[in-house]
C-alpha cells in the first residue's frame, strides 16, 4: 500500500525540480535521502523534506519498515505563477514570473 506526502506552492521552478526528481526516482528511500543530502540544488532540499514526511507517514500511520521503503512515484507539478512588475526605462514595465511547484512523493514497501 503506497503512502503519499505532498508539498504544495513551493517557490521553485518545476523544470529545475524535475532534474533532481529524476535522480532519485525508483531508488530505496534511505539511499535517496543520502543522495539528496549531497545534491547541490535548491530543489533537493524540498524533495528531501517531502520524502522524510512520506517515510514518517508510512512508519507512523501504516507500520511499515523504513528500511524496505522505496520511491514508487515522484511527481513535480506546476503550481500558480506569481507575477511581479519591474519598472523599466521610458515608462515601460517588465513582468517578472515567479513559478511555484507542487511536489508529490509516494513510497511503497518492497516485497522481499
pTM score:
0.91
Cell numbers found for residue 20: 533532481
Contact 71, 29 (CB under 8 A): yes
pLDDT bucket at 1, cuts 50 / 70 / 90: confident
What is the set of domains in the chain, with CATH numbers? Answer: 3-109 (3.90.470.10)
Q: Collapsing DSSP states into helix, strand and coil, what is residue 8?
A: strand
Q: What is the average pLDDT across 19-29?
A: 95
Instruction: Give pLDDT tens digits for 32-53.
Output: 999 999 999 999 999 999 999 9
Task: Please compute the mean of the pLDDT values over residues 67-95 and round it to a whole number.
Answer: 96
pLDDT surpassing 70 at residue 112: no
Query: What is the mean predicted confidence (pLDDT) over 3-19?
Result: 97
pLDDT in tens, 84-99: 999 999 999 999 999 9
Beta strand residue intervals within the chain, DSSP E: 3-10, 69-78, 82-87, 93-98, 101-109
Total residue count of the chain as it appears in this document: 112
Q: Grid coordinates standing for 55? A: 517515510
Q: Please tell me the distance from the alpha carbon of residue 7 to that of residue 15, in angstroms, as a whole number.
A: 16
Amino acid at each position: 500500500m503506497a503512502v503519499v506526502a505532498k508539498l504544495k506552492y513551493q517557490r521553485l521552478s518545476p523544470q529545475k525540480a524535475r532534474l533532481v526528481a529524476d535522480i532519485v526516482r525508483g531508488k530505496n528511500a534511505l539511499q535517496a535521502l543520502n543522495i539528496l543530502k549531497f545534491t547541490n540544488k535548491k530543489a533537493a532540499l524540498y524533495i528531501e523534506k517531502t520524502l522524510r514526511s512520506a517515510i514518517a507517514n508510512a512508519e507512523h500511520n501504516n507500520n511499515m519498515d523504513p528500511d524496505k521503503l522505496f520511491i514508487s512515484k515522484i511527481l513535480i507539478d506546476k503550481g500558480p505563477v506569481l507575477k511581479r512588475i519591474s519598472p523599466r526605462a521610458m515608462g515601460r514595465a517588465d513582468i517578472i514570473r515567479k513559478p511555484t511547484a507542487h511536489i508529490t512523493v509516494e513510497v511503497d514497501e518492497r516485497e522481499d
